[in-house]
Structure 1
Amino acid sequence: MKHILFIILLCSFSCFAQIKITPLDKAAIPKSITYTGTIVNAVKYTDSFGETIVITSQTGEYPSKTETDGSYRDAELFAYCYILQDGNWTQQWKVYDFTTECPVDIEANFVKNTFAVTDLDKNGKAEVWLTYITGCHGDPSPSTMKVILYEGTKKYAMRGSNKMRVGETEYEGGQYTFDEALKQAPKVFRDYATTLWNKNITPKF
């Protein structure tokens, strides 16, 4: 009996050590779950909190609501986490960011191929990683860049700017700071965030 119990516990830990995610298309998202914009990522997984759906979306640029001449534009991005509780999908957290009233090049979008769901500290709680940029500029100056991590409802953030070439051998940007939560988080979180940052610090055109 002890051997059977040990095997069950070992299996449970192994299952949560690697979070298996299932991509969802628009038709597979429950009707009770609402979101704004065009879907970038939509996944379902199960961790120690239960069955979960995470969606990231962005609007792209559109005419600014506060300007009438059509030369100013807005752009927004969103991330939603829903958890199944008592048969109902309940929003656990939401991320919202934007750029508004921009007359030049506008950005508010997730960095391609950076969305991830991990369990780096192997505690059975999924970590959701979001990386995105926002900005409004008519020259090759850096944009604001953020790496946001959620484990359950606990939020961690890494904020700074991407790195842009502004001269023959001159670059601007690339600096970042950890918020207090990430400073106090397991080292493996900071290591992953730093790797993610450095891999995407220079925009790929």
Structure 2
Amino acid sequence: MKIRLSILLLFISICSFGQLKISKADTTKLPKGIKFFGHITNSAKWTDSFGVHYVLTTETGQYFSKDQENNEAKNAEIFVYHYIIRGDTLKLLWKIYDQNKNCEFDIFTKFIDKAFKVTDLDKNGIAEVWIMYENQCTSDVSPAPTKIIMYEGNKKYAIRGENRVKISEKEFIGGQYTLDENFKNGNLLFRQFAINLWEKNKLKKW
């Protein structure tokens, strides 16, 4: 009976490995020491063998720089922070930053919120964090430079391309992308998920 119970517990342990419980972080009660710039657009929190993880995505929105001679030029910035707390130690594991500066036209530097995901596709107990955003200064209707960035631990993966724009009732332009070497040569599960995420979110939303 003891042998059977031990086997059952071992089986449950194996099946449970890598199953992370992801939740939204309570951004009104973030641990002391977590710093960020801009306003929070998305968040996630989970615990694994390395500690307690917090991921925040933030945007500044468009703003005018005080030291610019041209008062019509706009700026916008986006950030992603991945903090980990273990015991009394807080560490910034990685950070993403992008910007658009001195734009005299329409500025689109923002996250695609529906594409924000935290997964554990390979069930190894290390979360994959997925971010998608566009970054464009434009005076017309044209595809915007768009990226998917994924981190597993501190290893970075990327898709770079442009979103898809509807220019007439039946005509679209854009939507192309390129996988980086980590996606090309890495886990097939990651590559498939990345391509599906791109296809679901590549259409420009006005």
TM-score for both structures, normalised by structure 2: 0.91
Structure 2 Cα separation of the partners of residues 130 and 121 of structure 1: 18
2:59 alignment partner in structure 1: 58
Asked if 1 retains the 8 angstrom alpha-carbon contact of 2:44 and 2:118, the reply is no
- Give the SS at the match of 2:195: helix
User: Could you tell me which amino acid in structure 1 is paired with residue 167 of structure 2?
Assistant: V
- Residues 3 and 92 of structure 1: is their aligned pair in 2 closer, same or farther, counting only changes over 3 Å? farther
- Residues 25 and 68 of structure 1: is their aligned pair in 2 closer, same or farther, counting only changes over 3 Å? farther
Q: Deviations over 1:24-68 (max 9, x none)?
A: 232221121001100011221023433211111110000135522
1:148 alignment partner in structure 2: 149
Alpha carbon RMSD of aligned pairs, Å? 1.8
Asked if 1 retains the 8 angstrom alpha-carbon contact of 2:133 and 2:147, the reply is yes
- Residues 63 and 184 of structure 1: is their aligned pair in 2 closer, same or farther, counting only changes over 3 Å? same
1:191 alignment partner in structure 2: 192
Q: Deviations over 1:131-183 (max 9, x none)?
A: 11100001111111111111100110011000112345443211101111111
Structure 1 Cα separation of the partners of residues 144 and 83 of structure 2: 30
- Residues 146 and 13 of structure 1: is their aligned pair in 2 closer, same or farther, counting only changes over 3 Å? farther
Deviates more, 1:61-70 or 1:71-80: 61-70
2:131 alignment partner in structure 1: 130
Deviates more, 1:158-167 or 1:181-190: 158-167
TM-score for both structures, normalised by structure 1: 0.92
- Residues 110 and 89 of structure 1: is their aligned pair in 2 closer, same or farther, counting only changes over 3 Å? same
2:89 alignment partner in structure 1: 88
Give unmatched runs, 5+ long, in structure 2: none
- Give the SS at the match of 2:23: strand
